[in-house]
Amino acid sequence: MRFGSLLFLVALLALGNQLPAALGRRKIEKLGGCPPDDAPCLSVPDQCMDDSQCPSTMKCCSRACFRQCVPRVSVKRGLCPQDLLHCLSPVQHLCQRDSDCSGSKRCCLAACGRDCRSPLKG
């Protein structure tokens, strides 16, 4: 084998080794959202890092303090307002997902649980 051919082969092998790392950095965000996560924390390793590692329409979501592929839920437009208060009474959820709320309101996490709120634009 000539030196030029050997150098070309080494360069090709080096490029081939970098390809999976380059593809792994590209995160794909699928449509829809993650279901609410109210489960107590489990010491389980993550099963995914982003949506591209999940089959078909499933999303990579936090569930019980680790990430796993779960069926996506529909999400309305806008962002939930952030509630900086913390409730002293037991948590009570008035909704579970956006579809439980009328009109354009979203099911947002508030100080004492989830409730229907007008979203912020974004």
Average pLDDT over residues 97-102: 94
Q: Which of the two residues, 89 and 102, has the higher pLDDT score?
A: 102
> Does the structure show a pLDDT above 50 at 87?
yes
* pLDDT for the residue numbered 4: 52
Phi, psi of 115 (to 5 degrees): -150, 165
Say which CATH superfamily domain 76-122 falls into. Elafin-like (4.10.75.10)
Tell me how far CA of residue 41 lies from CA of 35, 85, 119, in angstroms: 16, 22, 28
Domain boundaries, the chain: 76-122
d(CA 35, CA 97): 7
Amino acid at residue number 2: R
**pLDDT tens digits for 32-65?**
889 888 788 888 899 999 999 999 889 999 988 8
Give 120's DSSP letter. Answer: B
